[in-house]
Chains A and B, each alone.
Chain A
Amino acid sequence: MIRARELVKQYRDGDGTEVRVLDGLSLDVEDGEFVAVVGPSGSGKSTLLHVLGGLDVHYQGEVEVAGVKLSGLKDKALARFRNQHVGFVFQSFHLIPNLSAVENVLMPSHFGPLTADVRKRAEALLDRVGLLSKKDRTPVRLSGGERQRVAIARALFTGPRVLLCDEPTGNLDAATGAGVISLFQELHREGLTLLAVTHEERMSAVAKRVLRLKEGRLVEESRPALAGGVS
């Protein structure tokens, strides 16, 4: 489902020296897997996610997601890929402030092929995340956890097979975060492929596989915590 080979991504930092954030990174995620990528802040987790999701094109290496080879795609094709094949969930939700929940959810419909009953589909997804009764509220009138649920509904709108989550519980308190995490678990059980980057234990604890981003590469994390077994 996700396949990356020899990814290299470098930034020039303030004093002009090159910093290799991704340094020959390779990754394989199977269809339906729930994988967590951990690492301290600044280790390149967001960068990796942007490359995999087709938001960043300035890198070297090969990426294939949901059967689409990203390297060398034109902007239009890349936009269609983002619209159809992946859903993004961000740490700070990134909802559009003056749009109601349901309008935020159907945002992807503006950039995709014509589909019938856009609003109905958005409402069904809001129902799915437990927010149908608040569909007409703007983000300011929703709690943090509710906002993230709206964002997840938006990510699911076009029915992608892959969800890319960038610290999805980073801005939530423990209780709300737990609610969001259990929503991810449900989606995983329904067959969605999830790749979540996080530096938090509670998120990685529920993933089936944990990878650590270290010096620009991924290494498999041993899982003593998993011994008890959550699934």
Chain B
Amino acid sequence: MRLVALSRLVRLSLARERRGAFFSIFGVAMGVGALVFFLGLGLGVGRVIRERIFPTDAKLVDVVPPSVSLGSFLGGGKLDAVMVERLGALPDVEKVYRKMSVRAPAASRYDGDFFGRRLRMGVDVLAVGVEPGLVEGDVEPGSFVDPAPGEPIPGIVSTRLLEIYNSTFAPARKLPRLGPGMIVGFTFPVDFNRSYVAAPVAGPVIQSHVQVVGASERGLLAGVTIPLETAIRLNRELGQDTETYSGVTLVATSPAAVPALVAAVKDMGLEIDDQERRLAENVGAAVALTTSALALLSILICVLAAVNIAHALSASVRARAREIGVMQAVGASRADVRNIVLAEAAVVGVLGGLAGTVAALLLALAVDRLATGYLPQFPFKPESFFSFPWAVVVGGVALGLLAALAGAWFPSHRAAATDPARTLAG
């Protein structure tokens, strides 16, 4: 049978069974729509977690000294220059970046103009020194180095800290929101070895200023990131340890090399700071699990839609037995009859799949609009909670088609088995 003829006959019977066809299409659309919507939501939220809340770089490995030092037994565990050399010599290590925290509390007392508002407050801050190479993509070249005496210390703030400030702190205190570019140049006083909450170490109080030179994902979340040389110098002035590092960031040659690298680092008696990665994985897994459950539910709706189509088509085939007999009498083969019924279902499935997918996309758009307009600002609030890769959109329509064809399987075979001699008699 030719396609033109097939499409004519399909249109004919769908036009007659308009009501039934509508409900069949609606059923498929419900299932497919729910599936596309939930998958899009799961993927979108997953993306927000991956890219904004825990933007872990898959090539980075954060090495820290073991919490309980067994260094003397294992011949390792102390992150000194020798150990850093050994880490750098591991296979698949592309770069090594040392970090050293300032080993004394620090406090900032601010009293003055803050982007057009008056701000008066005092807070404890943590300061960690990193090698400039780690953050070179986020600052002006040459701006992140140990300053000459009397010059302010260049500091980098975490982009995530900025996000939290912008979405909660700033609105609550009626302070202006700050973009990463706006804060460059902002200077605030920091007194090392002074604290509102912790006991100072034995040593002098060092008064200084920190000037923001950029914002970075690699910046310390709850503090300020300064050049490594500055941190070493401060520790020396404070009479603290300047030989061991508080952490080392390794850049692997590729994400695939990371597991072996992690194992090698652990063999050296060191630990990996993968808190964030694990948290990201846990949250990601929770989202994936929820998404899977909802997707399963949606597939169940699709199965119900298929059952509904099976019912509707069975009834329609029974009602059309005589008509099918007529078609057989004028030249329809059994395969023709079966194909007509399957094609009907295919049209229902594709229409339902399209309708459901479009409805899901529109609903997602509406949800995003409402979220932008009516939800209060919160940290990491994304522009869109959804992500619809092509595979999901095409898969939605394909699933509709599949569900409809599955539902049509038995009715189509029953129709093909129609005995014209019986239906045409009388």
CB-CB contacts below 8 Å: A110-169 with B? 110-112, 114, 154, 157-158
- Decide: A94 and B325 in contact? CB cutoff 8 A: yes
Contact with A along B134-173 (1 / 0, CB 8 A): 0000000000000000000000000000000000000000
CB-CB contacts below 8 Å: A74-133 with B? 75-76, 78-80, 82-84, 88, 90-92, 94-96, 98-99, 107-112, 114
User: Of the 9-residue stretches A49-57, A62-70, A185-193, A217-225, which lies at the interface with chain B?
Assistant: A49-57
In the complex, chain B residues whose CB is within 8 Å of the CB of A76: 333, 335
Q: Does A26 contact B (CB under 8 A)?
A: no
Write the nearest CB–CB distance from B318 to chain A, whole angstroms. Answer: 16
Q: Does A46 contact B (CB under 8 A)?
A: yes
Partner of A79, one of B326, B336, B426: B336
Q: Does A43 contact B (CB under 8 A)?
A: no
By size class, the interface of chain A is: 20 to 34
In the complex, chain A residues whose CB is within 8 Å of the CB of B328: 55, 79, 82
- Decide: B333 and A79 in contact? CB cutoff 8 A: yes
Q: Does B117 contact A (CB under 8 A)?
A: no
Contact with A along B1-32 (1 / 0, CB 8 A): 11001001100100110000000000000000
Contact with B along A18-44 (1 / 0, CB 8 A): 000000000000000000000000000
By size class, the interface of chain B is: 20 to 34
Known: A76-B333, A82-B328, A82-B329. A109 touches B12 (CB 8 A): no
- Decide: B424 and A94 in contact? CB cutoff 8 A: yes
Q: Does A176 contact B (CB under 8 A)?
A: no
- Decide: B421 and A114 in contact? CB cutoff 8 A: no
Known: A55-B420, A55-B421. A94 touches B326 (CB 8 A): yes
Q: Does B277 contact A (CB under 8 A)?
A: no
- Decide: B330 and A46 in contact? CB cutoff 8 A: no
In the complex, chain B residues whose CB is within 8 Å of the CB of A53: 329
- Decide: A154 and B330 in contact? CB cutoff 8 A: yes
Contact with A along B384-426 (1 / 0, CB 8 A): 0000000000000000000000000000000000001100111
- Decide: A79 and B331 in contact? CB cutoff 8 A: yes
Partner of B8, one of A88, A108, A110: A110
Q: Does B47 contact A (CB under 8 A)?
A: no
- Decide: B8 and A107 in contact? CB cutoff 8 A: no
Q: Does B52 contact A (CB under 8 A)?
A: no
Contact with A along B355-382 (1 / 0, CB 8 A): 0000000000000000000000000000
Q: Does B322 contact A (CB under 8 A)?
A: yes
CB-CB contacts below 8 Å: B226-284 with A? none
- Decide: B16 and A98 in contact? CB cutoff 8 A: yes
- Decide: B329 and A111 in contact? CB cutoff 8 A: no
Cα-based distance from A79 to B325 in the complex (angstroms): 12
Cα-based distance from A128 to B328 in the complex (angstroms): 25
Cα-based distance from A97 to B329 in the complex (angstroms): 16
- Decide: A84 and B424 in contact? CB cutoff 8 A: no
- Decide: A108 and B421 in contact? CB cutoff 8 A: no
In the complex, chain A residues whose CB is within 8 Å of the CB of B51: none
Cα-based distance from A56 to B328 in the complex (angstroms): 11
Cα-based distance from A158 to B331 in the complex (angstroms): 10
Q: Does B332 contact A (CB under 8 A)?
A: yes
- Decide: B420 and A83 in contact? CB cutoff 8 A: no
- Decide: B330 and A55 in contact? CB cutoff 8 A: no
Write the nearest CB–CB distance from A160 to chain B, whole angstroms. Answer: 10
Known: A75-B334, A79-B332, A83-B331. A50 touches B421 (CB 8 A): yes
Q: Does A71 contact B (CB under 8 A)?
A: no
Q: Does B85 contact A (CB under 8 A)?
A: no
Q: Does B94 contact A (CB under 8 A)?
A: no
Q: Does B327 contact A (CB under 8 A)?
A: yes
Cα-based distance from A108 to B323 in the complex (angstroms): 13
Partner of B424, one of A55, A78, A95, A111: A55
Give B5's nearest chain A residue, CB to CB: A110
Q: Does A47 contact B (CB under 8 A)?
A: yes
Known: A56-B421, A99-B12. A84 touches B331 (CB 8 A): yes
In the complex, chain A residues whose CB is within 8 Å of the CB of B336: 79, 111
- Decide: A108 and B331 in contact? CB cutoff 8 A: yes
Partner of B330, one of A50, A78, A92, A108: A108
In the complex, chain B residues whose CB is within 8 Å of the CB of A114: 2
- Decide: A111 and B330 in contact? CB cutoff 8 A: yes
- Decide: A94 and B322 in contact? CB cutoff 8 A: yes
Give B2's nearest chain A residue, CB to CB: A114
Known: A79-B328, A110-B8. A96 touches B420 (CB 8 A): no
Cα-based distance from A82 to B9 in the complex (angstroms): 19
In the complex, chain A residues whose CB is within 8 Å of the CB of B9: 110
- Most A CB contacts (10 A, CB to CB) among B8, B325, B330, B425 go to B330
Give B16's nearest chain A residue, CB to CB: A98
In the complex, chain A residues whose CB is within 8 Å of the CB of B425: 46, 50
Partner of A107, one of B330, B335, B424: B330
Give B336's nearest chain A residue, CB to CB: A111
Give B333's nearest chain A residue, CB to CB: A79
Cα-based distance from A194 to B5 in the complex (angstroms): 29
Partner of B332, one of A95, A111, A157: A111
Write the nearest CB–CB distance from A34 to chain B, whole angstroms. Answer: 21
Cα-based distance from A95 to B326 in the complex (angstroms): 8
- Decide: B329 and A110 in contact? CB cutoff 8 A: no
In the complex, chain A residues whose CB is within 8 Å of the CB of B326: 94-96, 107
Given contacts A46-B425, A90-B424, A110-B327, 4 further A-B contacts (CB under 8 A): A79-B334, A88-B329, A94-B329, A157-B330
9 CB contacts below 8 A, A to B, read A50-B425, A55-B329, A56-B421, A79-B331, A79-B332, A94-B322, A110-B9, A110-B332, A112-B331
